[in-house]
Amino acid sequence: SIVERITADPRSTPFSVEFYPPRNEKEEQRLWRAVRTFEQLHPAFVSLTYGAGGSTRDRTVRIAGQIATETTLLPVAHLTAVDHSISELRGLVGSYADRGIVNLLALRGDPPGNPLGDWVMHPEGVEYAEELVRLIRELGDFHVGVASFPEGHYRAKDLDHDTYYLLNKLRAGAEYSITQMFFEVEDYLRLRDRVSAADPVHGEKPIIPGLLPITSLRQVRKIVELSGSQIPSHLEDRLARAAGSGPEEDRVEVRKVGIELATKMSERLIAEGAPCLHFCTLNFSRATQEVLTNLGLAPVPA
């Protein structure tokens, strides 16, 4: 299981990486290059996100299966409640199981098209990720993780409600959570404190911090906007200065800032005892590898 993997060696902090299902042949080649590069670096696990449409969903299942059978990596497959009836969700969990995948990340997902728009439950589906956790656990011996939100989920009334619902997912049988990407380590530490203060048993389950090594200001703005979280203004200013005022942003300078930030955040998270560092790779390996190299967790990229 993921928890066993990340606690296997108490002397060093493991890392993990996140991929998304490729949209075309070229992206698929890039994904496999990244998969093969990370295979050499021994992440504790690799996770694969789940999209909104039929074909991207099939690709998540297929690629997670290929990672399970054709590589030495341990896949965590995401699934969401969006546009799925309970019977389809059962079928989906079954197709993961058929491919030897027992580690699942149970998510509610966002409304397709407009992630920040009104959530509409499938008439025969589930309303919250907590129900998905229960459903998966009923279906067999799966190890389930869930999402957590250092700044609070944007739909949660306040941080207390956010904490309460995260704990409900953990009480329903989730073994760990992976956080939304964030840029202030304090937010992560406060989340961890809130959850462990509210429930000394389930609140001690691992909270794996999600990190994005920023390589483009335009791209991080878009990702952050779609996730309902925020770039702190001091960082936004720094990135904007690095990007310069030309028609094209200065990617070299932005990248420098991004790698330095991700390195500093990782160092602090390791010092604070984070159980694992989870990197959003966008299916590239280089930026994440540079951060890992800075941390002494990977050789210098070739």
Minimum distance from CB of 49 to ligand FAD (Å)? 3
Q: Would you say 161 or 234 has its CB closer to ligand FAD?
A: 161
Q: Return the number of the residue (48 or 261) whose C-beta is nearest ligand FAD.
A: 48
β-bridge mates for residue 176, sequence order: 145
- 129-139 and 86-98 are packed helices; what angle lies between their axes, rounded to 10 degrees? 50
CA atoms within 13 A on the CB side of 277: 29
CB of 32 to ligand FAD, least distance (A): 19
- Shortest reach from residue 129's CB to ligand FAD, in Å: 3
Given the complex with ligand FAD, which of 35 and 208 has the nearer CB atom? 208
Tokens for 209, please give them.
């911090």
Q: First and final CA of the chain: distance in angstroms?
A: 31
Nearer to ligand FAD, 180 or 281 (CB): 180
**Is 27 considered catalytic here?**
no
| Active-site pick, 4, 18, 186, 225 | 18
CB 51 within 8 A of CB 57: yes
In the bound state with ligand FAD, the residue whose beta carbon lies nearer, of 166 and 292, is 166
Least distance from ligand FAD to the Cβ atom of residue 173, Å: 14
Its sign, for the CA torsion 97, 102, 108, 110, is negative
Contact 5, 44 (CB under 8 A): yes
Residues 6+ apart with CB under 8 A from 35: 19, 46, 67, 71, 73
Least CB distance from residue 237 to ligand FAD, whole Å? Answer: 26
Angle between helices 286-294 and 251-271 (to 10 degrees): 50
| Contact set with ligand FAD (CB under 6 A) | 49-50, 78, 80, 107-110, 128-130, 147, 153, 155-156, 161-162, 165, 169, 178-180, 210
Q: Which residues pair with 193 in a beta bridge?
A: none
Shorter beta-carbon distance to ligand FAD: residue 130 or 187: 130
Asked whether 73 and 48 are in contact (CB, 8 A), the reply is: no
**Minimum distance of ligand FAD from residue 50's CB (angstroms):** 4
The CA angle 176-181-183, to the nearest 5 degrees, is 125
Distances (CA, A) of 223 to 98, 132, 180, 207, 217: 33, 25, 11, 21, 10
Catalytic residue ranges: 18
